[in-house]
Structure 1
Amino acid sequence: MTDLLDYIGLGIMAVLDGPALFEIGGIGLPIALVMLAAGLFTGIAVGATPGLAGPMAMAISLPLLISAFGFSPDALLPVFAFLIGIMKGATLGGAVPAILFNLPGTPDAMMTTLDGHPMARNGQPRRALRIAQLSSVAGDSFSDIVLFVCAPFLAVVVERYLDLPEKAALLILSISFIAAVMGASVGKGLLSVSLGLLVAYIASGNDLSPRLTLGFDALDAGVPLIAAILGVMIVGEIFTTLETLWRNNRALDVKTETLATEQDGLAPGDLKRIAPVVARGALIGTVIGALPGVGSTLAATLSYSLSARQAKRTPDAQPFGSGAPEGIAASESANSAVSGANLIPVLSLGIPGNAAAVFLILAADSIGGFNPGPAVFAMPEGETNPQLVVAFGIFTLMAIGNVLNWTVGGVVMRSMSVLATVPAKRLLPVVLLVSLTAIYVQETSMFAVWATLAFGVLGYGMRRLAVPVLPFVIAFILAGPLERSAREAFSASGADPWFLFSSPTSVILLLMALAALIFLGRDG
């Protein structure tokens, strides 16, 4: 226990006692805290702007952050701080356009429009925003606590009881689960995963000569990681949205409404009314968020549906869809609780569960010195594990981010409402230019820029064919660990081709992977 407390203290001090960016009144402000606050405010602004989202801001900022802070391990916490701030702020800010303009800033805020906008039209926009803030931060805080407790425990269990074949089977299960639960059908999910693995294995592995390069010298070093991920996820989304704007010039325009000016703010009894709904939504969001590939939109929908059903059975309850505070609370608490829980498989297993987690893993891979997975939480005898210090530093940043959201987040959130009026047709070309510039700044190669555009076209095509893009990205990231685990297990077994079936645990994991494809796959 003493060792654990020492690591917790080292993690806290790594944040609070880090290099000072500047001083105020002779007191130095640690760079990690400054970057956390900057990321939080940026995230709220991005979430409040229709057409943008937290992952998009993380994608643009990551190459710029790495260029500014470099690749040394000292850059880990400042970069993570900014990305975590965006992740938390964007979830909070997404409620602004949903409530004020009936336009969700993020897909998971869709359910918030059902009661948030009617409440705003009834002359209580500040009340709706305040309920959204409290519910969102409460759900986020609950899931963070679960993350702090569960991630180390899960990592220790995996490291102690899973050998090489079991770890390879676990990665296969994760990829299969993501392919099954995302997209219109399991076939399209498997297609996306297969494309991700295929692209990742270009010029990789332990082969003596590059593979799958088709004779192109530029591919001898493989596909740039950041180009593939940003191209498919961000540039592809921009292309798709721009086409929508071209087809319907007014599709994403925001029409403001004149709101009533009667007295606004939290009403007596609001906190008591929403407390059980927030607790239920936080629990739902945390459970769903802990499953890789299951997004916050599902959590918000499930929480809202259960709360609406409960309201119908309660005498004198305000109907959902008419501006009920419980409706806002159900949606915001659940979608915010997903963000913290999504980091449980990231930190303990190295498996990303959503888009924001993808960019945290990408940051760790780009900078070095921190490899998400079971080894992060190891406490070797007689030496210090620097990765564990970074992990508790991340936990500290998340806790401080929640404090900022509780205190000043609501004020920043309300002040960003003007951003919902920015026309997407003017905003997205600027975002595309900044994205390509950021990639060139990090890679200093026009090949990376052209590759990003090529993967952007691929991402656009996948969206038009209803093929999910996140399984592609997650498979691309997990391809390396999967190959390494399989090669090591194959060698350790004496070149046994049936090494995956060498233990009951690995067989069970493979059967679970097959069951996920059969029973969780959607028709279509």
Structure 2
Amino acid sequence: MTVWDHALLGVASIFSGPEAFSVLGISISITLVMIALGFLMGITVGATPGLAGPMAMAIALPILISIFGYSQDAFLPVMGFLIGIMKGATLGGAVPAILFNIPGTPDAYMTTFDGYPMAQKGQAKKALKVAHLSSVSGDTFSDIVLVLCAPFLAVLVESYIDLPEKTGLLILSLAFIAAVIGDSVGKGLISMGLGLMAAMVATGEDFYPRLTFGMPELAQGFPVATAILGVLILGEVFKSIEDMVRSGIRPRDTIKSTVDGDTLTFKDVKRLAPYIARSSLIGTIIGALPGIGSTLAATLGYTYARNRYASVKAQDDPAFGEGAPEGIAATEAANSAVSGANLIPVLSLGIPGNAAAVFLILGMESIGGFNPGPSVFRLPSDGINPELVMAFGLFAAMFLTNGLNWTIGGVLMRAVGVMARVSTEVLLPVVLLLTLTAIYVQETSMAAIWIAVGFGILGYIMRRVGMSPLPFVIAFILGGNLEQTARQAFAATGGDPFFLFTHPIAALFMLMSLAVIVFNLRKSPS
């Protein structure tokens, strides 16, 4: 079968899956329903300060798996829901940034610089429309690049990378993530080392579990979802509770502007188009590099646009930071373009680049039947590659979510603006309860709850000392794969202990790992 045959099967699987209900005799698949529900939840979460897309994905994944099970029929509904959250949250983060000067997500921080001044001038509606147009444009461009580049990169990897090279590539990815995330390379490396250490518990090929301290609960290792939800979600909740107790509960500002104001004209769109295009390209390039994330993409997009705008703006146009629509356009296009490009290393190499990608990979591994990596895009000489069909199903789900973004995203953005007024003392207990419920639903064990609390305390300590938990999470995800690949490479090279340095490409990866760390150490302030 050809690539087009696999693509058609993948698209058809979205529409012809298990039926949720029918309308006028037309069957509506459960996958379509889950994509729409995920998108709605994503916008709501993004519009709620203190929440984020990865947090909602983390809580939803165990519950979804308990509902749909582990069969292949569950793959697209579960992944469609997660993709809907990821894309909706990016769009929704601009709402409180514009209306309340409170970024719903970290990557929407730059949106406040021009979005809130526009709202104070009575142009909130126009600012929201600019954010909507820019976000969806950047997201769509990034998804097109994903579809074109992920198969090409997978074929390239399949042709030139063997077990030693794959081991070196995993080490390079971990070194890159540890070096670029956070303000300190040293703290990033410590976070990564802790993640690898946690991944080593009870794993390997020994007859007896290792590093379990004789505890039978750890004989199978730390449950992946439990450890990740503990570090990422409970750690953040514990820190937020302490911050709230120290500073006291402060009521959020009331709305100082309405969503009325100027509409977005064709002339406005034409003026914004160059800024959207450049920031979409910046965000896509940044997103394809593991570990950098959308916050940096938004910062770079905004900075480049500000420099460009200063040289071309008219005398009566507002400057950046004073309500320039171009500032919103540059920021939202850049941070939204990261989401699709972040799946390039996920699908072609099996390497997550940000927190959202971690939960997509975790969903793939939990359900089974889809192993991200070069084999996904392998075209068999005869028969069907089911993983390739699933990959095209994921692509179709992403474009369908973009379709929802284009059609009803703007209306939903204005509707969920009220979520920015949810108080912290209400929000935190709800998040804590949902997280513990999701963990118990997944593991059905009180031991898992205590393990999650332990990892939550670790995540709290990491945040308090200024250490990003993301290198820990990605190292924990990749640790088992790294060890298995290294063992296989060691055996395949005849027990050569220097296999990482005797193969040219592997040696190049190791040299690049060292160079990334040294280069960022020279830049690091600590």
Name the counterpart of 1:84.
Answer: 83
Amino acid of the residue matched to residue 240 of structure 1?
K
- Mapped pair 1:511 → 2:511: yes
**Deviations along 1:268-300, whole A, 9 cap, x unmatched?**
521011100000110000000000000111010
Separation in structure 2 between the aligned mates of residue 405 and residue 261 of structure 1, nearest angstrom:
19
Name the counterpart of 2:243.
Answer: 244
Name the counterpart of 2:271.
Answer: 273
- Mapped pair 1:113 → 2:115: no
Name the counterpart of 2:372.
Answer: 372
User: Normalized against structure 2, the TM-score is what?
Assistant: 0.98
**Deviations along 1:326-374, whole A, 9 cap, x unmatched?**
0000000000001111110000000000000000000011111011111
Name the counterpart of 2:525.
Answer: 523
Separation in structure 2 between the aligned mates of residue 263 and residue 349 of structure 1, nearest angstrom:
47
- Mapped pair 1:11 → 2:13: no
Name the counterpart of 2:416.
Answer: 416
Separation in structure 1 between the aligned mates of residue 304 and residue 122 of structure 2, nearest angstrom:
27
Question: How many equivalent pairs are there?
Answer: 522
Task: Compute the RMSD of aligned alpha carbons.
Answer: 1.1
**Deviations along 1:198-225, whole A, 9 cap, x unmatched?**
0000000111111111121211110111
**3-state SS, counterpart of residue 28 of structure 2:** strand
Name the counterpart of 1:353.
Answer: 353
Separation in structure 1 between the aligned mates of residue 256 and residue 161 of structure 2, nearest angstrom:
60
Name the counterpart of 2:286.
Answer: 288
Asked whether the 8 Å contact 1:193–1:472 carries over to 2, the reply is yes
Name the counterpart of 2:480.
Answer: 480
Matches within 5 A, 1:249-264: 249-250=248-249, 253-259=251-257, 263-264=261-262
Amino acid of the residue matched to residue 347 of structure 1?
L
Name the counterpart of 2:55.
Answer: 56
Corresponding residue to 2:306 among 301, 305, 308: 308
Name the counterpart of 2:396.
Answer: 396
Gaps of 5+ in 2: none
**Deviations along 1:98-143, whole A, 9 cap, x unmatched?**
0000000000000000000000110011110010000000000000
Name the counterpart of 1:193.
Answer: 192
Separation in structure 1 between the aligned mates of residue 519 and residue 85 of structure 2, nearest angstrom:
35
**Deviations along 1:428-475, whole A, 9 cap, x unmatched?**
111111110111011111111111111011000000001110000000
**3-state SS, counterpart of residue 28 of structure 1:** strand
User: Normalized against structure 1, the TM-score is what?
Assistant: 0.98
Matches within 5 A, 1:444-483: 444-483=444-483
Matches within 5 A, 1:116-155: 116-155=115-154
The structural deviation recorded for 1:498 is 0.9
- Mapped pair 1:342 → 2:342: yes
**3-state SS, counterpart of residue 29 of structure 1:** strand
In structure 2, relative to structure 1, the CA distance for the partners of 1:5 and 1:235 (3 Å cut) is: same
Asked whether the 8 Å contact 2:354–2:470 carries over to 1, the reply is yes
Question: Identity percentage over the alignment?
Answer: 60
Amino acid of the residue matched to residue 331 of structure 1?
T
**3-state SS, counterpart of residue 109 of structure 2:** helix
Name the counterpart of 2:21.
Answer: 22
The structural deviation recorded for 1:25 is 1.4
Name the counterpart of 2:218.
Answer: 219
Separation in structure 1 between the aligned mates of residue 196 and residue 185 of structure 2, nearest angstrom:
16
The structural deviation recorded for 1:257 is 2.9
Separation in structure 2 between the aligned mates of residue 262 and residue 433 of structure 1, nearest angstrom:
37
Separation in structure 2 between the aligned mates of residue 258 and residue 494 of structure 1, nearest angstrom:
70
Name the counterpart of 1:172.
Answer: 171
**Deviations along 1:357-410, whole A, 9 cap, x unmatched?**
000000011111011111111112122111111000000000111011000011
Asked whether the 8 Å contact 2:249–2:425 carries over to 1, the reply is no
The structural deviation recorded for 1:523 is 2.8
**3-state SS, counterpart of residue 20 of structure 2:** strand
Separation in structure 2 between the aligned mates of residue 87 and residue 46 of structure 1, nearest angstrom:
10
Amino acid of the residue matched to residue 381 of structure 1?
S
Separation in structure 1 between the aligned mates of residue 365 and residue 256 of structure 2, nearest angstrom:
48
Separation in structure 2 between the aligned mates of residue 201 and residue 315 of structure 1, nearest angstrom:
56
Separation in structure 2 between the aligned mates of residue 499 and residue 301 of structure 1, nearest angstrom:
40
The structural deviation recorded for 1:484 is 1.0
The structural deviation recorded for 1:261 is 8.1
In structure 2, relative to structure 1, the CA distance for the partners of 1:315 and 1:100 (3 Å cut) is: closer
Asked whether the 8 Å contact 1:127–1:267 carries over to 2, the reply is no
